[in-house]
Amino acid sequence: MWRTRSPLCRQILVGFLLSFVTLASDAICQDTAKLFLKKPTIRPNPIQRAPLIAVADFECSEKVLATVLITDGTNSWEQPPITSAKVKHSIAVMGLRPGRSHRIQVRVHVPGETETETSDPMEFTTDPLPANFPPIRTLLSKPEKMEPGVTLFAINFWNNSTSILDYGFIIGVDEKGEVVWFCNTRDRIADMRFTKAGTLIYQHGSYRSAYEIDLFGRDLQRWTATNLTEIPNDGLSKNKTIPVNVDTIHHDLVETESGSFLTLATELRRFLEFPTSEFTDKAPWSPAYVVCDRIIEFASDSGKIVNELYLKDVLDTRRFGYMALSGFWKDKYNDYLNNEKSRDWSHANALVHLPEEDAVIVSLRHLDCVMKIDWKTKKIKWILGNHDNWSKPWHKYLLQPEGDLQWFYHQHAPQVTERGTIMMFDNGNYRASPFVKATLAPENRSRVVEYKIDEQAMTVRQVYAFDGGDEERFYSPFYCEADLQPKTKNILVTDGGHIELEDGTPDDNVPADRQWARIFEITPGENPEKVFELQCMSPLGSPYGWSIYRSIRLPNLHEGMNLDAPGSTETDDLLYPREQHQKRERPLNAKF
């Protein structure tokens, strides 16, 4: 072996060899870098209200499949490959955790070929959760027994029992309960769901507007109910607010097969007779202003109402339930009524669209019933609920109970499951009809309940119920949902409307001293196991409260989503201004 004794010679030789290796390495890289014309770079989402997304920008020489590889030091994952024929690519990097440093790489290959090309690692650090983020915590997580995916939900905030309309977070957590996406909407949110185009639609908690956004946090559209509300300022937004000629847009927003939206609206009617008490049948009936519900279908691009049904026209107006005398809609109507109080008779709170039958199912909370209606003829097909106090013309629509069945009361979120049943969250308020002794909150409980309907025989059986038993008893007098999961058949329960007094005693009156919420998941069968629980609450004595209307379990943050990455020039300035709504001095098209 050749050796040199001179240190200087050795240094020169080592330097020469290192230079040769570097040049050779560069030549090899240049030879293998066949696809990347421009190496990937990483930038934050320019829409700052959804900060747990980064954007990888790069250029390729031809059509490629691009996969993003991410690690935060604890978790490692890769996104499903994205096909693009563009030379320039911008790919959303999803699932980032708050307050962590992430290493991100992009791997590309030509479709049909096995050879891949992977970029150098890029570092991206996310900020911690903001100081005003809801105090969520995960109490239980068994991922191996859970429905896989991301749980999405919106948190509502209360301050001294006042609902705060300009606060709102939509949050996504993984199977371990870690936050992997959020959007600070600054909107109190009611119903929320995904469209066929992979965008999110939600109703503002004031029930005056609805929004369409994407996961980057961009505002795509806004609809406003204009009879009681002035059309808001659009600011620098690219799209104008679409007016919908109704008093409110409330509780549910359903996209139809044709792309229109089904929703609930209110109207105020003058009843010549309405009860003055829920507790004694000796009290007189007297004239009253009564809030009634409409089902409307409106065109998404114009807001034009293309179909509608005034539910007062098909319901028994002599029938009522507990809370019919409450003033849920007082902020919408009472200012117009010369010191009279509006009443909340039907309180519709959910819709299910059945396109194959051209039918809708509507939930009427204060009437303790769920009703199926032929959307073409506007005729009732059946009524599911207790048989108390219905007038004779409606008896033919009442489903007859079979077997051991317990009726629901003041329910939320009925859904038609894949096995053809009706599942809902039975809040259980009062567990009685008026003039019958009510079960109050300290002794009451809520349930998940499932019914099987035979439309030919006009019968109904209860096939499943879960009330927590002695150890897991729960009671939420408002909000909530129960969703059957497609793979595991688990049930995801949004137990999102707990109401308590200062000492923690459950209460029926919304709001009370304390509001708190949770989401939990149970396995199927007669002996269900709780496999996930997430909670949001403040300590006893705190002025702050929290509630969750509904939740969604998604397979991931990619499948079916609109992830068209924003350009670097897009900013939060292009969002609709979140100014407080302006009431109309005089309602438009009012019937009162």
What's 78's domain CATH number?
Answer: 2.60.40.10
What is the rounded CA–CA span in Å between residue 309 and residue 551? 28
Burial 515-551 (b: 16+ CB within 10 A, else e): bbbbbbbbbeeeebebbbbbbbbbeeeeebbbbbbbb
C-alpha 496/C-alpha 478 separation (Å) is 8
- Per-residue b or e along 9-34, where b marks 16 or more CB atoms closer than 10 Å to that residue's CB: eeeeeeeeeeeeeeeeeeeeeeeeee
Mean pLDDT of 451-464: 98
Structure-token pair, residue 246: 């109704």
* Statement to judge: residues 5 and 92 lie in one domain: no
Which structure tokens are listed for 468? 């927590």
Beta bridge partners of 101: 125
586 within domain boundaries? no
Question: Is the pLDDT at 11 greater than 60, yes or no?
Answer: no
**Within this chain, do residues 385 and 348 fall inside the same structural domain, yes or no?**
yes
255 alpha-carbon distance from chain centroid: 14
User: 3-state class of 110 per DSSP?
Assistant: coil
The mean per-residue pLDDT over the stretch 493-508 comes to 95
- Asked whether residue 588 is domain-assigned, the answer is no
Query: What is the Cα–Cα distance from 510 to 163, expressed in whole angstroms?
Result: 10
Show the domain range for 476. 136-574
179 with 194, same domain? yes
CA distance 515 to 495: 12
* Residue-level pLDDT at 24: 41
Place of tokens 């194959």: 356
Tell me the backbone φ, ψ of residue 143, rounded to 5 degrees: -55, -35
Tokens at 534, concatenated: 């997430």
Judge whether residue 13 has pLDDT over 50: no
pLDDT for position 589: 79
d(CA 280, CA 578): 45
Reply yes or no on whether the pLDDT at 12 is more than 60.
Answer: no
Residue type, 545: G
363-374 pLDDT, tens digit per residue, is 999 999 999 999
One domain for residues 320 and 443 = yes
Portion of the chain with pLDDT greater than 90, in percent: 88
236 falls within a domain: yes
pLDDT of residue 36: 93
Domain-embedded: residue 579: no
Collapsed DSSP state (helix, strand, coil) of residue 109? strand
Residue 282: pLDDT over 90: yes
Same-domain check for residues 101 and 157: no
Q: Which of 194, 204, 199, 241 shows the shortest CA–CA distance to 217?
A: 199
Kindly state whether residues 427 and 525 are assigned to the same domain. Answer: yes
Element (H, E) at 212: strand 209-213
Whether 388 is in a domain gets the answer yes
Tell me: do 396 and 542 sit in the same domain: yes
Environment class of 512 (CB within 10 Å of its CB; exposed 0-12, middle 13-18, buried 19+): buried
- Tell me, yes or no, whether 526 and 397 share the same domain: yes
pLDDT at residue 3 in the model: 39
Helix (H) or strand (E) holding 194: strand 189-194
Q: What is the pLDDT of residue 109?
A: 92
Q: How far apart are CA 134 and CA 181, in angstroms?
A: 14
Residues 96 and 144 in one domain: no
**What digits encode the pLDDT tens for the residues 85-133?**
778 899 999 999 999 999 999 999 999 888 999 999 999 999 999 999 9
> In which band, very low, low, confident or very high, does the pLDDT at 591 lie, cut at 50, 70 and 90?
confident
pLDDT in the model for residue 29: 38
Distance CA 222, CA 235 (A): 12
Over residues 347-359, the pLDDT tens digits come to: 999 999 999 999 9
> Does the pLDDT of residue 28 top 80, yes or no?
no
Count: domains in the chain = 3
290-336 confidence digits (pLDDT tens): 999 999 999 999 999 999 999 999 999 999 999 999 999 999 999 99
Q: Is the pLDDT of residue 6 over 90?
A: no
SS3 state of residue 235: coil
pLDDT in tens, 168-179: 999 999 999 999
Same domain for 27 and 43? no
Which domain CATH number covers 541? 2.120.10.30
DSSP assignment, residue 529? -
115 half-sphere exposure, CB direction, 13 A CA radius = 4
The amino acid occupying position 522 is I
pLDDT at residue 33, as a whole number: 58
pLDDT one-digit tens code per residue, 141-163 = 999 999 999 999 999 999 999 99
231 and 140 co-located in one domain: yes
591 inside domain: no
* Residue 479, in any domain of the structure: yes
Picking from 125, 145, 167, the residue at the C-terminal end of a domain is 125
Place of tokens 């290192």: 18
pTM above 0.85, yes or no: yes
Say yes or no to pLDDT of 23 above 50. no
Domain-ending residue, one of 91, 125, 159: 125
User: Within this chain, do residues 112 and 218 fall inside the same structural domain, yes or no?
Assistant: no
SS (H, E, C) 368-415: CEEEEEECCCCCEEEEEECCCCCCHHHHHHECEEECCCCCCCCCEEEE
pLDDT at res. 424: 98
What residue type is 294 in one-letter code? R
- What percent of the chain has a predicted confidence (pLDDT) above 70? 94
Residue 54 lies in a domain: yes
Rounded to an integer, what distance in angstroms lies between the CA atom of residue 359 and that of residue 353? 6
